[in-house]
Structure 1
Amino acid sequence: MPLEDHKIACFIDFENLALGVRDTNYKTFDVQLVLARLLEKGKIVARRAYADWERYGAYKRPFHEAGIELIDVPLRGYSGKNSADIRMVVDALDMCYAKGHVTTFALCSGDSDFSPLVGKLRENDKYVIGLGVKNSTSELLVSSCDEFVFYEDLIRSVQEAPPLVGLPKKQKECFALLADSMKALMREGKEVLWGSMIKQTMQRKRPEFNEEYFGYSTFSALLEDAQKHQVVKLRRDQRSGTYVVTGFDAGSGETAPEPAHAEPAAEAKPAEKARRPRRRSRKTAKPASEAPPAPDAA
């Protein structure tokens, strides 16, 4: 299914994630990292987080700013956590049956109790993405999902982002979004990165994105400037005439097809114009400067 066709419903078992993050070296749980990864996969049409929010008041504001609906399930004795789990399961199944346009469910939890829910969603032809903290995630849940993302990997991807030095702040912001979107498509296994595909991913990550805000009249102009500043490498598609991004400037492995298109064309034209049969046998002599002296020597 193309990325733009994924309609994602995100359900967050926040207490499970908060406890998992607390037991690691990470200070707080950054929900923006989770949403950014999901936006790489499609459009998020529903966002809900379940917890006793009186206990996690510090997270209310960032979750509200991220457009997440907070479902408050107060902790009562020993049944509080189970109540949150049950509410989340009921809501997910209700959406599965009532909202046919939702194609993908993102369950953010490491609790094995959600494995039956995963099975029921997949039974109804839904794609299920799981997300949890590695040390507090059940192997049963991981194996039940179509795809599982560990929170630690989201942190690591941020730490490994290449620095963009010597650029104005606005331009750096633009190129950072470009690079992040390219890496997102690469993670999804996209071998050919069309310019239009990259722009769609950038707009999913930042709905307000517009190349004109960054001073470019077209997205092609943005890509050309990114190549000029050695951020990406481009080539023109011969059929459509549009840009294809072959990789980051630091990685030269993907640029091999470019000279392969240019060199044969350059060698073929002189041979056709000359139309001298005896030079066809000397085609192995690649340097063009050696071809004219050959008749004199004869």
Structure 2
Amino acid sequence: MEQERKIAVLIDADNVSQKYIKYILDEIAKHGLPTYKRIYGDWTSPQLARWKDVLLDYSITPIQQYSYTAGKNSTDSALIIDAMDILYSHNINGFCIVSSDSDFTRLVVRLRESGMYVVGMGEKKTPKPFIAACEQFKYLEALAQIDEPKVIPQNTVKVPEELKKLTRSIRNIITDISDEDGWASMSKVGNILNKREPDFDPRNYGYPKLTSLVKAIHVFEVDARKTSNPHVNNYFIKNKETGKRR
């Protein structure tokens, strides 16, 4: 039996609201077991008062880091030093860095160079370099489902602007991996999409799964194939013909 991935969850309290904590831990449970749960900040600061109310509820260890100099973020340095100490302890095989700050980009690159699985989490304002450095990146707003789902009309032919880039990516992946009949495994498409675009998540578009998002775009064919388990289907996806005629 494959051993469950052990993950160190390190949270930058200066850049993340306490309202997301449940969603952060629920999400990381899908990737592995949160072995370390630490949060960094100056706990003498009134701005972090709300965090103090939830730390005990979720068994998160607060790490005190005083702001020695105005304008300098000592919290970042403390988190980075701890991350390297944890890395060299050889007790874990994955990290979750929770912050919207690009200062952790080099840390993530270093962790991945050491063979670590790294998930990033932050708000939509997170700079692209940090997102690109992670194996996967999750937007906190999407995890918390703050935005209402974007409903795409069933009779639509034109793909909404925000989905055009995603649609092109999915089309290209299907072309690359499909069988002779043009069908590709939905799960394989999703895996490749995550590798090419670390911040991809169907919840960013208001859908719980890739399958439901793909069906809503209406430019793909989806086939549900039965398995030996009557409650489980394997889904396959195919590019629809453009319908152009001479």
What residue is the counterpart of 2:4 in the other structure? Answer: 5
What residue is the counterpart of 1:92 in the other structure? Answer: 83
Q: Select the structure with the greater relative contact order (CA < 8 A; seq sep ≥ 6).
A: 2
Q: Considering fraction of residues, name the structure with more helix.
A: 1
State the Cα RMSD in Å: 2.9
Deviation at 1:77, TM superposition (A): 3.5
Identity of aligned residues (%): 29
In structure 1, runs of 5+ residues without a counterpart are 19-27, 161-187, 192-234, 238-242, 248-252, 255-298
1:151 partnered with 2:140 = yes
CA distance, structure 1, for counterparts of residue 227 and residue 123 of structure 2: 42
What residue is the counterpart of 1:58 in the other structure? Answer: 50
Provide the secondary structure at the position in 1 that maps to 2:73.
helix
Deviation at 1:83, TM superposition (A): 1.2
CA distance, structure 2, for counterparts of residue 66 and residue 245 of structure 1: 34
1:158-189 Cα shifts (integer Å, max 9, x gaps): 977xxxxxxxxxxxxxxxxxxxxxxxxxxx94
What residue is the counterpart of 1:245 in the other structure? Answer: 231
Q: Is the 8 A contact 2:97 2:119 kept in 1?
A: yes
> TM-score, normalising length from structure 1?
0.49
The match for 2:121 among 100, 111, 131 is 131
The size of the alignment, in residue pairs, is 161
Deviation at 1:123, TM superposition (A): 1.0
1:68 partnered with 2:54 = no
Question: Which structure has the greater CA radius of gyration?
Answer: 1
Q: Is the 8 A contact 1:11 1:88 kept in 2?
A: yes
In structure 2, runs of 5+ residues without a counterpart are 150-185, 190-225, 236-246
CA distance, structure 1, for counterparts of residue 128 and residue 227 of structure 2: 45
Q: Considering fraction of residues, name the structure with more strand.
A: 2
CA distance, structure 1, for counterparts of residue 135 and residue 21 of structure 2: 21
CA distance, structure 2, for counterparts of residue 17 and residue 111 of structure 1: 10
Query: Alpha carbons of 1:92 and 1:49: their partners in 2 closer, same or farther (altered >3 Å)?
Result: same
Query: Alpha carbons of 1:107 and 1:244: their partners in 2 closer, same or farther (altered >3 Å)?
Result: farther
What residue is the counterpart of 2:106 in the other structure? Answer: 116
Amino acid at match of 2:232: T
